[in-house]
């Protein structure tokens, strides 16, 4: 039995959730997207300032929704990394302050573990399991042989897939974040532009997105210079086929090689309709289950942090109040936070 308050502030969402023995009592998310939209991407300094302004309000709102007092809680959980350092610090300081004042254990949670465990709101995990972690800051294939057992079997060597979507959207004149506008435009287009499949496609589970991003930017700029028409929907479709195709190929190959029982999608890009549809198709008749997170759980939130925290609470994975944030924390090191 555990009542946990979980804080997430790693990027542009200030979020607080409260769970009671696995039941979600409150899940408050304050998104900064409308502010960062103007700049075409997240402005780290503004993001941390807004977390400072919003964190207390989110905490109060979560307590009120859950009808819970700080004294009733069993633990305070917080995203310790990866993420933007200034943003992580705000959530961490809030969590440490609460843990200190109310004498509660402090649980440090890995952001990507949160994205993975968001899937527990949609179904029960069966191991071995392959997690396809695709977000604005990360692109990883993670093998789990059991709960809280994370092994990275492939990762991006440069840009993350979500970052690539956002940059391509910007050059095509679409708003930030660019994932959804590209996803929508791609449905209306044809794959008519020839874009290179990155080197990493061939023989490993690693990814590479910077070459694909540069190719789209160069192609768009060349077409503009020549005064030729840019067929936005076709460009979006051509880009998406390559960007998501790489994930589909590697994930299905890894699922077979590691003989997994389940594949789970995680992170912001798991909202992508083509990825969801195609992964379902590829895994049909393979005997491998697919869990797709509900859309509300693909963006950053506290509920996903609370899910991991419940398991860490059972194992008494608690941090001292000297805990610092780690913007580059590896998921395989999630128990190391000295
Ligand atoms: O998980 P998230 O908030 O990022 C990190 O925590 O790092 O994911 C945000 C990313 C953005 O890059 C956004 O463009 C992308 O997820 N995204 C999508 C879609 N919806 C959001 N990418 C592709 N297709 C979508 N439908």
Whether omega before 258 lies within 30 degrees of 0, making that bond cis, reads no
For the CA atoms of 228, 231, 234, 236, the dihedral, rounded to the nearest 10 degrees, stands at: 100
Question: What are the extents of the domains in the chain?
Answer: 3-116+298-333, 124-292
pLDDT, one tens digit per residue, over 69-125 is: 999 999 999 999 999 999 999 999 999 999 999 999 999 999 999 999 999 999 999
pLDDT of residue 200: 59
pLDDT, one tens digit per residue, over 114-153 is: 999 999 999 999 999 999 999 999 999 999 999 999 999 9
Q: Which CATH number applies to 124-292?
A: 3.30.420.40
Q: Which CATH number applies to 3-116+298-333?
A: 3.30.420.40
Atom 22 of ligand 1, residue of closest alpha carbon? 179
For the entire predicted model, the pTM comes to: 0.95
Extract the residue ranges of the chain whose pLDDT is less than 50: none
Question: To test the ligand 1 pocket, which listed residue (165, 186, 241) has its Cβ within 8 A of the most ligand atoms?
Answer: 165
Distance 141 CA to ligand 1 centre (A): 16
Identify the DSSP state of 174.
Answer: P
Atom 2 of ligand 1, residue of closest alpha carbon? 268
pLDDT of residue 125: 98
Atom 26 of ligand 1, residue of closest alpha carbon? 272
pLDDT of residue 201: 58
Whether omega before 177 lies within 30 degrees of 0, making that bond cis, reads yes
Q: Does any ligand 1 atom lie closer than 6 A to the CB of residue 270?
A: no
- Whether 3-116+298-333 shares its CATH topology with 124-292 is answered yes
pLDDT of residue 105: 98
Please, which residues have CB within 8 angstroms of residue 58's CB and are 6 or more apart in sequence?
14, 15, 16, 28, 29, 30
């Amino acid at each position: 039995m555990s009542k946990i308050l979980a804080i997430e502030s790693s990027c542009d969402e200030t979020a607080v959730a409260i769970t009671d023995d696995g039941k979600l009592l409150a899940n408050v998310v304050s998104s900064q997207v409308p502010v960062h939209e103007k700049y075409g991407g997240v402005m780290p300094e503004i993001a941390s300032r807004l977390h400072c302004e919003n964190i207390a309000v989110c905490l109060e709102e979560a307590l009120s929704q859950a009808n819970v007092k700080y004294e009733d809680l069993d633990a305070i959980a917080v995203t310790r990394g990866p993420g933007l350092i200034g943003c992580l610090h705000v959530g961490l300081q809030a969590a440490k302050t609460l843990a200190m004042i109310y004498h509660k254990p402090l649980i440090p949670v890995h952001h990507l573990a949160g994205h993975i465990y968001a899937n527990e709101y949609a179904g029960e995990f069966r191991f071995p399991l392959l997690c396809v972690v695709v977000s604005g800051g990360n692109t990883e294939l993670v093998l789990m042989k059991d709960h809280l057992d994370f092994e990275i079997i492939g990762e991006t060597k440069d840009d993350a897939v979500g970052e690539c979507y956002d940059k391509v959207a910007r050059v095509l004149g679409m708003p930030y974040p660019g994932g959804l506008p590209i996803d929508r435009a791609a449905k209306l287009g044809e794959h008519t532009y020839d874009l290179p499949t990155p080197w990493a496609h061939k023989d490993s589970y690693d990814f590479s997105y910077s070459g694909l991003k540069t190719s789209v930017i160069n192609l768009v700029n060349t077409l503009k210079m020549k005064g030729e028409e840019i067929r936005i929907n076709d460009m979006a479709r051509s880009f998406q086929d390559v960007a998501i195709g790489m994930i589909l190929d590697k994930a299905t190959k890894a699922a077979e090689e590691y003989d997994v029982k389940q594949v789970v999608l995680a992170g912001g890009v798991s909202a992508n309709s083509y990825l969801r549809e195609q992964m379902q198709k590829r895994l049909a008749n393979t005997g491998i289950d697919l869990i797709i997170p509900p859309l509300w759980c693909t963006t950053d939130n506290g509920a996903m942090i609370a899910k991991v925290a419940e398991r860490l609470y059972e194992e008494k994975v608690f941090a001292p109040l000297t805990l610092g944030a780690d913007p580059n924390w590896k998921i395989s090191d999630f128990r190391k936070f000295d």
